[in-house]
Chains A and B, each alone.
Chain A
Amino acid sequence: MARMKFLCDADRCIECNACVTACKNENEVPWGINRRRVVTINDGKPGERSISMACMHCTDAPCAAVCPVDCFYVTVDKVVLHSKDLCIGCGYCFYACPFGAPQYPKVGNFGSRGKMDKCTFCAGGPEADLSPAEFQKYGSNRLAEGKLPLCAEMCSTKSLLAGDGDIIAKIYKERVVKRGYGSGAWGWKTAYKETVAI
């Protein structure tokens, strides 16, 4: 069974932040939350690279392991999703996540952070596919429509890849072999304990 993954080819990313904007708009993400972001490493130095990062939908996801109420589940496509109805907003997933994916709608102290929000790989939530309730809580469910996450689909340089992990790894590998360089499949070692062997 295929595992859905993201792969950001940092040698192509031009830090346009269109993926960030597309995600916010497609999913009507609450104010203050960015499910996806672009981080520039070694900014202004020779060899700087920008990487678009969101929830990596890890194998053996730490968020799911530490959740005290077990609100996470994994879809048939191996996308890591959660139920906002079960979430108690305790913040444990936020402590455990290596990618800073879980976020809360309120800066609220006093534990009133609200329900956790994170990237859904444009796969909605536990509600019925494409229902208004699902959209209101989790945003778009493009996977149910046979589409891939919008961030990757509209990436102008095709730096951000999303889809079957084996296929996007193959695309990245071919690119690296052809052009002769690559800065790595960012986050893969941490998320999947493996990287794309070139």
Chain B
Amino acid sequence: MRLSRSILSFFAVLGVVLSLGLSSPATAQQNAPVNPTASSVREDQLLNALKPGGAAEIGGRITIPDGKAATLIRPAGREWREFHQGTMHLVGAVAILGMIAVLVGFYFTRGKIMISGGPSGSTITRFGAFDRFIHWTTAGCFIVLAISGLNITFGKVLLMPIIGEVGFSALSQLGKYAHNYLAFPFMIGLALMFLVWVKDNIPGMIDVQWFASGGGLIGKGHPKAKRFNGGQKMVFWSVILGGAALSVSGWYLLFPYTAGGVLNLQFWNVVHGIVGVVLIGAMLAHAYIGSVGMEGAFDAMGSGEVDLNWAREHHILWVEDEMKKGVIPARLQAAE
């Protein structure tokens, strides 16, 4: 095969040499086709070469000092735009409106979860001042971050028609600064919450049982739980992991020149947006069950003192532990 090909090419070369020899040099020059584009770079070839997984940008060399300007065309911008104006709106609407619908539905079917034995009148300390301080620092930041974040995606549609473009621009500018600066106390709060509560949030078999018996949300009775039940551990880990994803992605968006290019910024923006709205949905559920959804629950983060009957129903193993430690006064222990 290879041999026959080389024999063929030998004859082909021989033919070319012979024909060149026969024609005069002058006519050969005139007839030779001049085609400056034979090897010229063409836009359509470069665009076709931009396949998923391959290069995403057409770029070259530039003589001005700004190296970033060397990218000529970056079609991925159009895809990010499709995401931001389509998927992002859809996911955000489903996560937030969907969660609100679920919570309203839950309220009207299950109602407010009451302390079945009624309040005992005696309380036990659930969260000390520092616990509550870091919770509310993080929560307060999160609320402002969530609203200013949603404003960037939905404000143009929902708020701008009401307050006009000048007022909306001023408000969004304020929201942007709030978002940028409150990110830092949020991240500090996140780190502190992790350090303070991680020891009580390690998942175990008891959480599997808690979920298997409906967590006290579905059906009757209260599954046993330690300081934090399965549902609370889920809230803890979604805040820690979701918060970490928001912190990392937000860091790059805040310091764009550390991200390494626009394509990375597009990626971090997608992460930031999706994790943001999912976490907002989760926090709506957390806020519901911690306030209007359950009798006695708000006290845990309000005064820090919870009713003993509430604690026994929801966190019996934690109450027993506290009793062993002697945290609970003897007169209350006797009452049991």
Contacts and interface: CB of A to CB of B under 8 A. Distances in A.
A18 interface: no
A187 interface: yes
A11 B37 contact: yes
Nearest to A180: B35
A55 interface: no
Nearest to B38: A47
Nearest to A187: B73
Contacts of B72: 39, 41, 51, 53, 99, 186-187
Contact of A37 (B62, B151, B254, B258): B62
Contacts of A11: 36-37, 40
Interface in A73-112: 85-92, 94-100, 107, 109-111
Contacts of A89: 176
Nearest to A94: B262
Grouping DSSP codes into helix (H, G, I), strand (E, B) and loop, the A interface class, with mixed when no group exceeds half, is loop
A17 B62 CA distance: 10
Contacts of B60: 39-43
A100 B73 CA distance: 8
A98 B43 contact: no
Contacts of A182: 37
Interface string B257-273: 11000100110010000
A86 B173 CA distance: 9
Grouping DSSP codes into helix (H, G, I), strand (E, B) and loop, the B interface class, with mixed when no group exceeds half, is helix
Nearest to A41: B60
B169 A34 contact: no
Interface residues of A, number: 59
A12 to B, nearest CB: 11
B155 A68 contact: yes
A52 to B, nearest CB: 10
A186 B75 CA distance: 12
A193 B85 CA distance: 19
Give me the 10 closest cross-chain CB pairs, A-B, nearest first.
A184-B43, A181-B37, A47-B39, A47-B40, A41-B60, A62-B81, A43-B61, A98-B77, A86-B169, A111-B180
Interface of B: 35-44, 46-47, 58-64, 66, 68-78, 80-81, 84-85, 151-153, 155-156, 160, 165-166, 168-169, 172-173, 176-177, 179-180, 253-258, 262, 265-266, 269
19 contacts: A17-B64, A32-B66, A38-B63, A39-B71, A40-B62, A41-B58, A48-B41, A68-B155, A68-B156, A68-B172, A90-B152, A94-B262, A94-B265, A95-B77, A100-B71, A110-B254, A181-B35, A187-B72, A190-B75
